[in-house]
Amino acid sequence: MDKPLPPLKPEFLAMMAKGVSLMLCSCDPALTPSVMRAVGSRIEDEGRRITAYLGRAQAAQLLADIASSGRLAAVFSQPSTHLTVQFKSRRVRIRETREDDGPHLEAYLRSMEQEVAAVGFAPVCAHALLAHAPGDLVAVEFEPDEAYDQTPGPQAGRQVSAH
């Protein structure tokens, strides 16, 4: 799909911009899935452009699958509320991290410390969850083609619109 996604509902955009759990997924040519937790995110243009940060060594299979298939799925979920949105994209680009990514990674870590604390875990759990080797990060930029509300409940699975 080449048409840009309409603006997201404010509650989804606020959750994503805050910094919550983010999982990325792709698959190989045999459709074997690969999944990895992102260690940070950057949200731009009202959610129409998203950057996820991955540890290159930990995410080698996922990065290979994204590079070969050109597609990914991404799921943002807030541990304290279970508010969840899923994106699918065929407009993906892998790049090296830049100096201006640093503040987004730091803000994401601080937000995840709050999120894990809200469900009863110490901030050190967020540090362990998001640990990565210095200099090993890679950025996965994508523009969502589709978005789905995956919050548990009657709206789960419905395509997200701007309203």
What's this model's pTM, rounded to 2 decimal places? 0.92
Handedness of CA 54, 113, 98, 85 (dihedral sign): positive
Question: Does the pLDDT at position 163 exceed 90?
Answer: no
Distance CA 26, CA 64 (A): 9
Q: Say which amino acid occupies 152.
A: P
Distance CA 2, CA 74 (A): 18
Distance CA 50, CA 109 (A): 17
Distance CA 34, CA 26 (A): 5
Mean pLDDT of 19-41: 97
DSSP 39: S
pLDDT band at 161 (very low <50, low <70, confident <90, very high): low
Per-residue pLDDT tens over the stretch 108-142: 999 999 999 999 999 999 999 999 887 999 999 99
Sequence-distant (≥ 6) Cβ neighbours of residue 148 within 8 angstroms = 85, 86, 87, 88, 157, 158, 159, 160
pLDDT at 8: 82
Distance CA 108, CA 119 (A): 17
Q: Tally Cβ neighbours within 10 Å of residue 33.
A: 12
Q: How many residues appear in the chain?
A: 163
Q: Tally Cβ neighbours within 10 Å of residue 148.
A: 18
User: Mean pLDDT across the chain, nearest whole number?
Assistant: 93
Q: Which helix (H) or strand (E) holds 10?
A: helix 10-18
pLDDT band at 4 (very low <50, low <70, confident <90, very high): low
Distance CA 71, CA 19 (A): 22
- Find tokens 């699975």 and name the residue: 157
